[in-house]
Amino acid sequence: MSNYHIKHLEEYFQVYRKSVQNPEGFWEEVAEEHFLWRKRWDRVLSWDFTKPEIKWFEGAKLNITENCIDRHLVTRAKKTAIIFEPNSPDEPAQHITYRELYERVCKLANVLKSKGISKGDRVCIYLPMIPELAVSILACARIGAIHSVVFAGFSSNALSTRINDSECKMVITTDGSYRGSKTIDLKGIVDTALEDCSCVETVLVAKRIHSGINMKEGRDLWLAPLLDAAGTDCEPEIMDAEDPLFILYTSGSTGKPKGMVHTIAGYMVFIAYTFKNIFQYREEDVYWCTADIGWITGHSYIIYGPLCNGATSIMFEGIPSYPDFGRFWEVIAKHKVNQFYTAPTAIRALAKEGVKYLEKHDLSSIKVLGSVGEPINEEAWHWYDDNVGKKKAPIVDTWWQTETGGIMISPIAFATPTKPTYATLPFIGIQPALMDENGNEILGNQVDGRLCIKFPWPSIARTIWGDHQRYKDTYFSAYENKYFTGDGALRDEVGYYRITGRVDDVIIVSGHNLGTAPIEDTINEHPAVAESAIVGIPHDVKGNALYGFVTLKDTGETRNQDNLRKEINELITEQIGPIAKLDKIQFTSALPKTRSGKIMRRILRKIACRDTANLGDTSTLLDPEVVQEIKDNVL
């Protein structure tokens, strides 16, 4: 039996047992057999959830890019590492071999060094899904710089907050990006952001759309001539196991975004191991994850996981609806994709279009389907199973988080029997617990509670950049000696888990985590707004949509409500990005509050969802009449 490659349910149970009975021994074996180390660790694990402090493979030395690239050059130099599929189907795909990837990464690493970037420096990467994005990430890792990728759909304001938080010295961007039939002026967004960022010394600009942009003298440099002049070898920086690999920002329910810090060795081992097993990747398979690399899914399961396994991974620049809703199916047929990993929101959007687009393309190459980012509803699950997998491809519904680094609860394809809407069993080494309101673990099956994890796994984020106290407060303070996920879950009669959704003020819209507080703060900046509260309402494609309740300042003048709605959404787009726009905005004379002044979101949520049969006791509210007014005017 191989610990590294699980093929049957029996094997899963055996390996799982081993991984929880002797976690150190188990992970040591995986690490030893499957990775390249410059020096062995002194200690496999030390941890203390009360501090919290977690260290894996302490004392070991390595470079993750040697594991992702160099070691494959012996046997896989000519194998395609990355297939770049452009936005437009008329532009040819690019096949980048492991040898070419090596050279491109080394060249860019040399450029970074020549521009003063060294180990520990932070580099912000603000790029669309083009090969330079993958190359930039790996070039940072090559020289020990910490990459902070910011999703290229974020606004200049969101970008500058992130750049300043981790004091990035450099930004890598492009002259613009394609999105379906549109182009986006990414460099313009960077220029605006940098008006507020004094830490950035250099901006490297890749050419993508060949638009005329401003290049700021002494700061902005075109990437291509620098790469042309750079050497094709770059000695990897030898890193400590616990050195940071990257920072990735995620929304919290309050305050500014949290810069989750992932460190090198544990992350590498867990991501590679999960990728191999959950998707059952085999040599020569073509794997496609449709996520953007601006999110954790792209970091772990487009770049690091596949490349650590010597896989062929597709990077898709476009969107599912351009030039029509057949684009995903066309790409699958064109590249003979074997594992396809996407989000429920995309599945729902495509299902809405019916099967006419699907029928035009040969999807017979598909072996495994994946889902990630939010709970998948029964209807979408069956549509995916029936029409994309033709009932032959197992669906791995993978539950995890930016903070967990890798997949935590998921079927292992072909080993774990699937069940619609269930993420099923904990992955190897993962010890979940369901907790009740009083902080006690709920044992047994057919129960539900708040999902915690009892024991560290190798790819857990180690801290929040610059704010360890917030890390402790957010994840380790709700339940003693446990990592709290912020999700609710149930466990069925056989021990399968189903994630029921967030239990905090984070709302997942089209698979994107949005904290309510930062959006409310933005709305409140509008000069006419006194106060606001956001809730999530079910949406048949996006999963959830945002519904805002807004009270206006009494200025004596009457305002056109439709114009105000437009202005509020423009403000949100500007400050956060279009993903946080509100679907509905209801103006109201007041918000329901407790006597201590806390907004009763539970009541607002029920009203917005038109579920008003049981609003609970509203008599204790400060102003109970307002509930009736809000109910009468619900949109």
Q: What is the DSSP letter of 411?
A: P
Q: Half-sphere exposure of residue 537, counting CA atoms within 13 Å on the CB side?
A: 21
- Which residue among 400, 471, 479, 547 contacts ligand PRX (CB under 6 A)? 400
Q: What are phi and psi of 438, to 5 degrees?
A: -95, 10
Closest to ligand PRX by CB, 202 or 404: 404
Contact between 162 and 197 under an 8 Å Cβ cutoff? The reply is no
- Options 122-130, 484-492, 515-523, 589-597: segment touching ligand PRX (CB under 6 A): 484-492
Closest to ligand PRX by CB, 61 or 605: 605
Minimal CA–CA distance to 386: which of 420, 414, 411?
Answer: 420
Closest to ligand PRX by CB, 326 or 405: 405
3 is an interface residue for ligand PRX by CB under 6 A: no
| Closest residue to ligand PRX in the complex (CB) | 402
Contact between 85 and 320 under an 8 Å Cβ cutoff? The reply is no
Peptide bond into 131 cis (omega under 30): no
Q: Beta-carbon neighbour count of residue 153 at 10 Å? A: 16
Closest to ligand PRX by CB, 188 or 501: 501
- Compute the least distance from the CB of residue 377 to ligand PRX, in Å: 10
Q: Beta-carbon neighbour count of residue 169 at 10 Å? A: 19
Which residue intervals of 327-433 are DSSP H helices? Answer: 327-335, 344-351, 378-383
Cα 108 from chain centroid? Answer: 25
309 is an interface residue for ligand PRX by CB under 6 A: no
Closest to ligand PRX by CB, 124 or 380: 380
296 is an interface residue for ligand PRX by CB under 6 A: yes
Strand locations in 2-139, DSSP E? 43-48, 53-58, 61-62, 80-85, 94-97, 122-125
- Options 357-365, 372-380, 469-477, 596-604: segment touching ligand PRX (CB under 6 A): 372-380
402 is an interface residue for ligand PRX by CB under 6 A: yes
Task: Give CA–CA dist 8/184, Å, rounded.
Answer: 47
Q: What are phi and psi of 56, to 5 degrees?
A: -120, 140
Contact between 295 and 133 under an 8 Å Cβ cutoff? The reply is no
395 is an interface residue for ligand PRX by CB under 6 A: no
100 is an interface residue for ligand PRX by CB under 6 A: no
- Which residue among 302, 499, 591, 604 contacts ligand PRX (CB under 6 A)? 499
Per-residue contact flags (x/-) with ligand PRX for residues 415 to 454, judged by CB under 6 A: --------x-------------------------------
- Compute the least distance from the CB of residue 502 to ligand PRX, in Å: 5
- Which residue among 102, 151, 287, 399 contacts ligand PRX (CB under 6 A)? 399
- Which residue among 156, 177, 297, 312 contacts ligand PRX (CB under 6 A)? 297
375 is an interface residue for ligand PRX by CB under 6 A: yes
What's at 561, amino acid-wise?
A: Q
Residues 249-268 that bind ligand PRX (CB under 6 A): 250
Minimal CA–CA distance to 274: which of 20, 459, 33?
Answer: 459
**Which residues lie near ligand PRX (CB under 6 A)?**
250, 296-297, 371-375, 397-402, 423, 485-487, 499, 502, 508, 513
